[in-house]
Amino acid sequence: MNRYTRILAIFTAAYIVLALIWWSFLLFHKNEALYESNLQLREMADQYGFHPAPPIPEKTETVRIYRRQRMMIIGESLFILISVSIGIWLIFRSYMQEQGIIRQRRNFLLSITHELKTPLTAMRLAFETIQKRDLSRDQLSRLITSSVREADRLTETVNNLLLTARMDRKYVPRLESRSLSDAVENWKVACQNHWPDRQISFQLDSPPQTSVVTDWSGLDIIFRNLMENAVKYSGLEAPIKAVILTNNTHFCLTVSDSGPGIPPSEKNRIFDMFYRIGNEDTREGKGTGLGLYLVREIVHQNKGKIKLRSNEPQGSRFIIQMPI
User: β-strands 240-246, 305-310: how paired?
Assistant: unpaired
> Which residues have a Cβ under 8 Å from the Cβ of 256 and sit 6 or more positions away?
230, 240, 241, 242, 243, 311, 315, 316, 317, 318
**71: enclosing H helix or E strand:** helix 59-132
Side by side, the strands of the sheet bearing 200-204 are: 200-204, 240-246, 250-256, 316-323, 305-310
Query: Distance (Å, rounded) from C-alpha 319 to C-alpha 324?
Result: 16
Query: Distance (Å, rounded) from C-alpha 222 to C-alpha 183?
Result: 13
- The answer to whether 114 and 153 are in contact (CB under 8 A) is no
pLDDT reported for residue 276: 67
- The answer to whether 177 and 217 are in contact (CB under 8 A) is no
Which residues on neighbouring strands pair with residue 310, listed in sequence order? 316
pLDDT reported for residue 3: 72
The type of residue at 133 is R
> Under DSSP, is residue 276 helix (H, G, I), strand (E, B) or coil?
coil
Which architecture does CATH list for 176-323? 2-Layer Sandwich (3.30)
Summarised one tens digit per residue, pLDDT across range 257-282 is 888 788 777 777 788 777 766 544 44
Which residues on neighbouring strands pair with residue 323, listed in sequence order? 250
pLDDT reported for residue 283: 46
Within 10 angstroms of residue 202's Cβ, the number of other Cβ atoms is 13
Query: Distance (Å, rounded) from C-alpha 126 to C-alpha 143?
Result: 6
What are the boundaries of each domain within the chain? 2-103, 113-168, 176-323
Provide the CB-side half-sphere exposure for 103 (13 A, CA).
Answer: 14
Query: Distance (Å, rounded) from C-alpha 154 to C-alpha 161?
Result: 11
> Under DSSP, is residue 279 helix (H, G, I), strand (E, B) or coil?
coil
Residues of the chain with pLDDT under 70: 1-2, 49-59, 165-170, 276-288
CATH class of 113-168: mainly alpha
pTM of the model: 0.59
> Which residues have a Cβ under 8 Å from the Cβ of 308 and sit 6 or more positions away?
262, 267, 270, 316, 317, 318, 319
Looking at residue 49, the DSSP 8-state letter turns out to be -
Within 10 angstroms of residue 48's Cβ, the number of other Cβ atoms is 7
In this structure, the dihedral spanned by the alpha carbons of residues 119, 122, 126 and 127, taken in order and rounded to 10 degrees, is 60
Query: Distance (Å, rounded) from C-alpha 168 to C-alpha 150?
Result: 28
Query: Distance (Å, rounded) from C-alpha 84 to C-alpha 121?
Result: 55
